Structure 1
């Protein structure tokens, strides 16, 4: 599976390594091109996953605000609900297409 923005692959991993949470594909940290992400200061805490880290995504010369996110230290209780540890896995907003 690939996370693609305007023909640029931001993340790529076999589907078996991804995790689906609430309709979003989460990519393992090692599969993400970190050079295309920039940490955002936007705060958010999910009631069951914990504190979220947003990222802006670089698109050529543009920076698309808060188009990716992860949970660096999710609540341990959420691992049972998700089925595994998804710490630092990265998901993407609709602008970024997740394709096979």
Structure 2
């Protein structure tokens, strides 16, 4: 596995056979709802598959109603993707604290998720794909 450190000392790892990451266009309509409101709706979602983790749908920021989200002070770091910022959805109460995340400046290997948000399935009511009410859990 290839890795190196940033000037701030954070390790950057490159996806490979031991930790694969693939990103593809979802090719379906995706709708995220919470408390009777559409939080996001898009035909331009990306599907990210990472090693043994569950599938994650990344939705372009332009297709998220950002007026319903509130930037959180919570941050994390992924050596494969970079620094991660979080958003809460006040209409969901405590359940929806840090419900969405974004890599605003992702590493080159995952650059296509820049300006895309992902949602925790258990912190929203539904994440529907193709209006089929497929709920990611």
Calculate the TM-score normalised by the size of structure 1: 0.83
Whether 1:92 and 2:119 are equivalent positions in the alignment is yes
Structure 2 match to 1:32: 64
Displacement, 1:88?
Answer: 1.8
Relative contact order: is structure 1 or structure 2 higher (C-alpha 8 Å, sep ≥ 6)? 1
Displacement, 1:37?
Answer: 0.7
SS of the equivalent of 1:66 reads coil
Displacement, 1:78?
Answer: 2.4
Alignment of 1:38-77 (within 5 A): 38-59=70-91, 62=93, 64-77=96-109
Structure 1 match to 2:110: 78
The 4+ residue runs of structure 1 with deviation greater than 2 A are: none
Whether 1:20 and 2:52 are equivalent positions in the alignment is no
Q: Which runs of 5+ in 1 are unaligned?
A: 80-84
Q: Which runs of 5+ in 2 are unaligned?
A: 1-29, 50-54, 132-137
Structure 2 match to 1:82: none
Displacement, 1:90?
Answer: 0.6
Structure 2 match to 1:4: 33
- CA RMSD, Structure 1 to Structure 2 (Å): 1.5
Q: Kindly name which structure, 1 or 2, has the bigger radius of gyration based on alpha carbons.
A: 2
For 2:56 and 2:37, the matched residues in 1 are separated by 19
Calculate the TM-score normalised by the size of structure 2: 0.62
SS of the equivalent of 1:59 reads helix
SS of the equivalent of 2:88 reads strand
